[in-house]
Copies of this chain bind each other. A is one copy, B any other.
């Protein structure tokens, strides 16, 4: 089955830009329509860069918050647990490293073909196509669509307090947060693709 060994900056399984990634089934034209639907503009790109600078030094705190939330809810930590229902610590750690890097990628990567291809890879890794494989674990085979979508709320709302701490005026904080919100919705939309029945995405 082969655990993915590739790493960037020591992040296990992180494969942004790797040549062996499949091409996203979503085209750049379709991406553009999605960007329009979440009202994502070049201004948002600029505010995401700003957000990246604010969040960069706080990534462990952000991840502590998200992981605390998952750990507090048995119905969520279940997807990172073994057959006996015990959380798989190494799996959680490896995912954490990629999740942390994802925060910066949201803020700093151009949303181009390479980015689109990696969103496709991330989508597959949440769905039964590829979940567990990157990390060589035997956890539940898929994170259900319902939790992919409902996670939009906590992943969006919890980031605001960190953005507030960056020393920017409230108006900029709000713009960074709106850009983050749009970006999260855009990512989750793309990640929903493997879950959709034929023709329904």
User: CB within 8 Å of B: which residues of A?
Assistant: 30, 33-34, 36-39, 73, 75-76, 127-128, 142, 144-147, 149-154, 156-157, 178, 181-182, 185-186, 188-189, 192-193, 195-201
Contact = CB atoms under 8 A, between A and B. Distances in A.
Given A127-B200, A150-B185, A200-B127, A145 B192 contact: yes
Chain A interface, DSSP helix/strand/loop, else mixed = helix
Contacts of A37: 73, 75-76, 147, 150-151, 153-154
A142 B76 contact: no
A127 B153 CA distance: 24
Contact of A142 (B127, B157, B200): B200
Instruction: Give the number of times this chain occurs in the complex, counting copies.
Output: 2
Contacts of A186: 150
Contacts of A75: 33, 36-37
A127 B200 CA distance: 8
16 contacts: A34-B150, A37-B150, A37-B153, A38-B150, A39-B154, A39-B157, A128-B200, A142-B199, A144-B201, A145-B201, A146-B201, A153-B181, A157-B181, A192-B192, A195-B197, A197-B197
Interface centre among A37, A147, A198 (most CB of B within 10 A): A37
Query: Which among A147, A149, A193, A199 has the greatest number of chain B C-beta atoms within 10 A?
Result: A149
A147 B37 CA distance: 7
Contact of A146 (B153, B154, B192, B198): B192
Given A36-B73, A196-B195, A185 B149 contact: yes
A174 to B, nearest CB: 10
A24 to B, nearest CB: 13
